[in-house]
Structure formats: structure tokens, C-alpha cells
């Protein structure tokens, strides 16, 4: 028994399954119900990801504070606050 005798029946079964699935008559009513179901599931997924993002954001508030990007900007910021006597310190 060689590989062709083993693989071809499996490929043929997949092709027949795809053909029978593709040729199935789907009514417009069933198609619209499936579309509504997919849209509903997608919106539910987006809502869940939004809630997850919100919960992560309120737990990690320090992610949203503005910080100097480089060492040069830190030095300039420190020099400016100390030179002008600003009372704002971190």
C-alpha cells in the first residue's frame, strides 16, 4: 500500500463534504438569521473586550500619566522647575 492509496480517499472525502456543504440550499430567512447571530456574537465580543480594557485601565492608571520620554527632557524639566521655583514637584 503506497501513500497515494492512503491520501487520495481522505482528500476525496473532504472534497465531497465541501461540495455537499456548498450545494446546500440555504433560504434567505436562514441566511439572515445566521448573519444576525454572527453580528450579535461579534458585538458581544467587542463589549467584553471593552469591559476588559476598562478594568485593566482602572487598575493601571500610571500607564496614562505623561512622563518625559528621554533623559534630556527629564533634566530640562527638573532644571526649569528648580530655576523658576515652581511648587509643583513629584
Domain positions in the chain: 34-82
- Give the model's confidence band at 87: pLDDT under 50 very low, under 70 low, under 90 confident, else very high: low
Average pLDDT score over residue span 61-70: 74
What H or E segment, with its residue span, contains residue 41? helix 28-59
Rounded to whole angstroms, how far apart are CA atoms 76 and 78? Answer: 5
| Stretch (H or E) spanning 37 | helix 28-59
Q: Per-residue pLDDT tens for 24-51? A: 677 888 889 999 999 999 999 999 999 9
Write down the pLDDT at residue 68. 64
Tell me how far apart the alpha carbons of residues 13 and 8 are, in angstroms, rounded to a whole number. Answer: 9
d(CA 87, CA 41) in angstroms, rounded, equals: 53
Q: Which residue has the higher pLDDT, 14 or 90?
A: 14
**How many Å apart are CA 23 and CA 12, to the nearest integer?**
16
pTM metric for this prediction: 0.46
Amino acid at each position: 500500500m503506497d501513500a497515494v492509496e492512503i491520501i487520495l480517499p481522505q482528500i476525496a472525502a473532504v472534497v465531497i463534504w465541501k461540495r455537499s456543504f456548498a450545494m446546500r440550499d440555504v433560504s434567505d430567512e436562514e441566511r439572515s438569521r445566521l448573519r444576525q447571530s454572527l453580528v450579535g456574537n461579534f458585538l458581544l465580543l467587542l463589549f467584553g473586550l471593552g469591559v476588559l480594557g476598562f478594568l485593566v485601565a482602572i487598575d493601571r492608571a500610571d500607564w496614562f500619566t505623561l512622563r518625559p520620554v528621554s533623559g534630556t527632557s527629564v533634566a530640562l524639566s527638573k532644571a526649569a522647575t528648580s530655576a523658576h521655583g515652581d511648587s509643583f514637584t513629584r
